[in-house]
Chains A and B, each alone.
Chain A
Amino acid sequence: MVAGWFTGEGDGFRLLGTRCAACRSVFFPREDTYCRNPGCSGGDLEEVPLSRRGRVWSYTDSRYRPPSPYVTDPELPWEPYALIAVELESERIVVLGQAVPGITVADLTVGMEVEVVPGVLDEDTGTTWTTWWWRPAGVAR
């Protein structure tokens, strides 16, 4: 969906952020202009893949259809999806994402390990918009 936010396929799939060469702050979504740490003199921002696994900081779901610009087909019944906020230990950052389809809030607990996998946000006849999904670690798709 958004250029440069993730890369790779299968087990090689990773979220992409940037990291300040001076202070080691990590930014996601990527920050390509300035390091935003006010205590940093400012270093080069280098693209960096984020950790593949993290722990659930919190989670919720969306029982009602979100408004535009979220893309859904109003002709189809609404299928709720879960949203998971995931804490990445080495980057010390929390990243929000949708859970893989079929994972509901009943499957989740705060603190459990999840991993990032490639996902599909939406597709029509000509285009597939890819995204990232979180899924409980070690669960087969």
Chain B
Amino acid sequence: MTADVAVLGAGMHPWGKWGRGFVEYGVQAARAALADAEVDWPEIGSIVGADTVRGGYPGYVAGATFAKALGWQGAKVTSVYAACASGAQAIDTARAQILAGMADVVLVVGADAAPKGFFRPVGGDRQDDPDWLRFRVLGATNPAYFGLYARRRMAVHGDTLEDFAQVKVKNAAVGALNPNARYRKRVTAEEVAASAVVCDPLRLLDICATSDGGAALVLSSMEFARRRGVADPVRIRAVSTVTPRYPHTVLDLPDIATDSAAGAEPAGEPFRASIARAAYEEAGIGPEDLSLAEVYDLSTALELQWYEDLGLCGGGEAAKLLREGATSPGGRIPVNMSGGLASFGEAVPAQAIAQVCEVTRQLRGQAGDRQVVGARVALTANQGLFGHGSAVVAVR
């Protein structure tokens, strides 16, 4: 049995602040993916929705919500929630069904309609919820954690504000070429430096926005793809959904404290690195095999952290890798050629799916002005609140 599943179709609703409901974004993305796959909706044997907590019950049961909007047709239905890793878990669920022979062709959809400003926990007085507590007790927003990571990199590795700004400059330049991106304007280092500090040392242009958007994939068995005359599809070879290992010693969203290392020695491999390693091991590849990577740049500084966690360079060498141009278009390992979250903003359940949409286009050679020449192997990486790993390896 092959461990590959085929990516027959990829579709997105452009990111922005459109002021409409998440269902509309998801359905448009789904229809685009179905058209791209040349598969009719009634042929889909299973639909997996990545949930959004902002849509009330319809958001919590996204699979059925999208299925109803597309027209009930009797498919298997699943809804998954793993915060920012929801999309990866939806892909993993679809893939497991295909590899187990439970479905031939599966539609995966994620969409969100995010409010303006800081993300906040859902309402109520919930003292047993770590996400609620970090806001109530500390006022610790998501950018506060990004600020902590950024300051730590400056202190430990000597990263500078200019290094962080260059990540934004790089991502905005490619995002300007992406019709699905929300921000399509080049940005200069001076503009980053002139933007307001949100959480020291990070400025507004170092931090991703919150957006509306949708993304969808049509995944199938390799046999289904062959029957459709698609001999050489983009293939998903690995999906990593791992948790951290105790003790998790890096302060992470939404925690108020780390695990203690007093009772057990840390593994020596931080959580984000373990997400990537699980994907590499499952795919039987290493970082040296990558043609490109899409990483979760919630902040500019966090993109640099991912370079090290993905093994693109050694510890503390990310800023050097950036300065050398290795992660820019034409470099040894281009990162975030979609424009990244810097250009999209967060549409939580859609983003991990959108990363796979981007690498699908890249591996097909359909990325236009953003194309990484000769792309054969791509990794996407992401991390969900509460310890959800998220990485996908796609190959051609």
Contact = CB atoms under 8 A, between A and B. Distances in A.
A127 interface: no
Interface in A29-63: 29, 35-40, 57-63
Interface residues of A, number: 49
Contacts of A26: 260, 262-263
Contacts of B201: 60, 105
Contacts of B148: 57-60, 83, 85, 96
Contacts of B80: none
B262 A59 contact: no
Interface in B121-146: 121, 125, 127, 132-141, 144
Interface of A is mostly: loop
Contacts of B152: 57-58, 110
Contacts of B255: 96
Contact of A23 (B132, B251, B263): B263
B199 interface: yes
A68 B122 CA distance: 10
Contact of B136 (A69, A95, A98): A69
A20 B141 CA distance: 31
A91 B258 CA distance: 11
B258 A67 contact: no
Given A66-B141, A67-B117, A110-B152, A92 B261 contact: yes
29 contacts: A1-B137, A20-B263, A25-B247, A26-B262, A29-B256, A37-B247, A38-B246, A58-B152, A59-B148, A59-B200, A60-B147, A60-B199, A60-B200, A61-B200, A62-B141, A63-B196, A63-B198, A67-B141, A72-B139, A83-B139, A91-B260, A92-B261, A92-B262, A93-B260, A96-B148, A98-B139, A110-B152, A111-B155, A121-B137
Interface of A: 1-2, 20, 23-29, 35-40, 57-64, 66-72, 81, 83, 85, 90-98, 105, 109-111, 121, 131
